[in-house]
Structure 1
């Protein structure tokens, strides 16, 4: 989207959601964004954010009517304390899938679509901000999946359109994602835009503390001594394997936990491969990546099904990790979708792979 000029006042330009490393995410960029975002807590509007291509959107004040493309951006707003500004969402969170008190809050948000919000419904929603989590920043004039509105249509409807860059820009990154700085920068920038910078700073500090403790314990482990790790996306189908590549946030989660993503040599976010490719990697550990079903019993059933498939399928039952029952039962969302829980997943993986080393 193009920049808006607000009375000639110099804007606070943020990097995360906005900037930091479309893909790689440098620490310096995230730290710089954090410092500038703090100003908005004191009312230092206007605030400007950029998309993956560098186009700028400027806010003169906090948005009042927000629509989110899916549950991940909704969850971030709820964590920031800006949930009361959300008037609708696509891809809504299933009941019981958000942690703690966030679940009840999330269930109250109006569902505009069970998947991609139809163009007409989005433009007529009354929103003044639309947050896109997954988006192709290319040929559709700034749209995500489906028949998305153009830049001009968003402008005519009075809707600012911004992206979670740690996700939306992932496939376009120029280098592998090995840290969570882009996720942290997104949180910082969302805090600046919504006037919740203090909470954003708190969330980012908590993530840094968790990851920092893991890095202190296992970060120095030589590459050759790090176990290989395969994220088994059971819900994506088993005819072929959908693997996480080195531009996906899961690559950062796995790397920070002291493991080697079995498909870190794949440039991009996700890719479908044949099972012969997984066999060739013969990973030391396998994460049973199933999506949160909303209850402990339903999740256990899904994990059991995924494990049984690996143990009984002729193509996978001979894998080292399968024979040694080296399975991790961690849901897909906190591993593959940018959010606060990425740091918690780093901790969970490290505790399993390095027992006794991570507190």
Structure 2
């Protein structure tokens, strides 16, 4: 296990399994860590412990990001359903066929009755309390327990009490899922590959001074254009932008996401704008959505004179690999760094 993660497992918060599903998780000081043998004990952000006596065999995931982690770990054959399924072309080719075979329990959030009656023994939730239940609200922890379902969250996106400046929590999520599913060697390999990518970018960028870090705005096109939604310092996108040698235009925002006004974006006048578009199910449709997002910024009177818009400094990288924990977050760092610092990061190095 890489030293960075070994230290993190001993000191950082673990997968969230909050007893109050409607509350926002906060960081605690759990002393239970993932083990290489069973039983495996995982502590949540508040120190609450979940024990696994054996690997789960019937897993449901809240969305494509959690599903992708399990597929990459080699535990995809245990996934019996997912919400927010991956669109065509979203998953890497090596795991796309297996991912397409996973039953879809909800095109968006999974309805409470569907989830509780799924026969799952583990539900992996990417965000705090918003990715299950639908209009009726998410199941409570007592309901999960009564259905025989252990409920775990990914700490990197569910626990938003701290500023995100690196991908350590994402890597810890991968290691914890590896421990829970008995696939730690695969988790180690995934984390090592991420570390290798991040290290190469860091070496290429060197000690980049602040005045050489361009300001960067993540434009969440799918969240709406009337009032933009900014990614703030408690969101993993903040870490990705920082590691790529840029400055999140809304890093002073003490939240994970926050609705802002276009006048705020104009006042910060970003040097670069990422067109945050979710996968549309086909390469052509996704490309068209990127085109729509760029066209909006060029035609909108409030944004057409922004530095990034006038100079055509747009970054076309999907929302999912930027704002949701996953094994491709390090690749996103590399892509952004290569775009905003082409003189330093060449061919990904």
| TM-score w.r.t. length of structure 2 | 0.88
Partner SS, residue 101 of structure 1: helix
Q: Is the 8 A contact 2:194 2:327 kept in 1?
A: yes
For the residue of structure 1 that corresponds to 2:104, the secondary structure is coil
The one-character-per-residue Cα deviations of 1:150-206 (angstroms, maximum 9, x if unpaired) are 222211211111111111112xx1x31000000000000000000000000000011
**Structure 1: 5+ residue stretches without partners:** 1-11
Describe how 1:140-151 pairs up with structure 2 within 5 A. Answer: 147-151=137-141
Deviation per CA, 1:288-335: give whole Å up to 9, x if none.
111112332222211111111111110000001111111111111111
Change (3 A) 1:143 1:100: closer
Q: Could you list the runs of 5+ residues in structure 2 that have no partner in the other structure?
A: 1-8, 17-24
Tell me the distance in 1 between the aligned counterparts of 2:85 and 2:11.
28
Q: How far did 1:144 drift? A: 7.4
What is the match of residue 103 of structure 2?
Answer: 110
Correspondent of 1:352 among 333, 339, 343 = 339
Residue 50 of structure 1 corresponds to which residue in structure 2?
43
**CA-atom RMSD, angstroms?**
2.5
Aligned pair partner of 1:135 in 106, 124, 128 = 128
- 2:11 maps to 1:18: no
- Secondary structure of the structure 2 residue equivalent to 1:149: coil
Tell me, in whole angstroms, the C-alpha distance in 1 between the residues paired with 2:206 and 2:27: 18
Matched, 1:87 2:80: yes
Give the Cα separation in 1 of the matches to 2:306 and 2:26: 31
Contact 1:13–1:49 (CA under 8 A) maintained in structure 2: no
1:117 deviation in Å? Answer: 1.5
The 2-side partners of 1:194 and 1:126 are apart by 17
C-alpha separation in 1, matches of 2:204 and 2:179: 33
**Hey, what does 1:333 align to over in structure 2?**
320
Q: Give the drift of 1:51.
A: 2.1
Deviations 1:221-274 (A, max 9, x none): 112321000111111110011110000010000000000000001011111111
Aligned positions, number: 329
CA–CA separation in structure 2 for the residues paired with 1:155 and 1:228 = 46
Structure-1-length-normalised TM-score: 0.86
Give 2:205's aligned residue: 218
Provide the C-alpha distance between the structure 2 equivalents of 1:179 and 1:283, rounded to a whole number of angstroms: 22
Give, in whole Å, the separation in 2 of the partners of 1:13 and 1:327: 40
Alignment of 1:264-343 (within 5 A): 264-343=251-330
Distance in 2, Cα, partners of 1:143 & 1:110: 16
Match of 1:155 in 2: 145
